[in-house]
Amino acid sequence: MYTAMPVDTAGHCLGTYAPLGLVQAEELPATCDPVCLLRDATLYVSTVCGPYPDEATLVSARDSTDCADALALLDADGVGACEAE
């Protein structure tokens, strides 16, 4: 199961890791460079290594300010986490 954090673009914060889709892999370490993925009109960020789920589209930070902002939040070491309601 590939997991990623949903991005709240309006609130400028990241949700907790959630399942994004099934992938065929022996291991899925969470030690890769962060990436943005789009699934069902929701942007996600993750440090989980590929392969990525077929249902998700890779988004470039150069092409998406929302992705660039989300990656900056991820770099903030938890500062960008959404508050639990």
Residue 44 confidence (pLDDT) = 97
**pLDDT tens by residue, 28-83:** 899 999 999 999 999 999 999 999 999 999 999 999 999 999 999 988 765 577 87
pLDDT of residue 83: 74
E strands present in the chain? 2-8, 13-14, 18-21, 35-39, 42-46, 57-59
pTM of the model: 0.89
Where are the chain's structural domains?
2-75
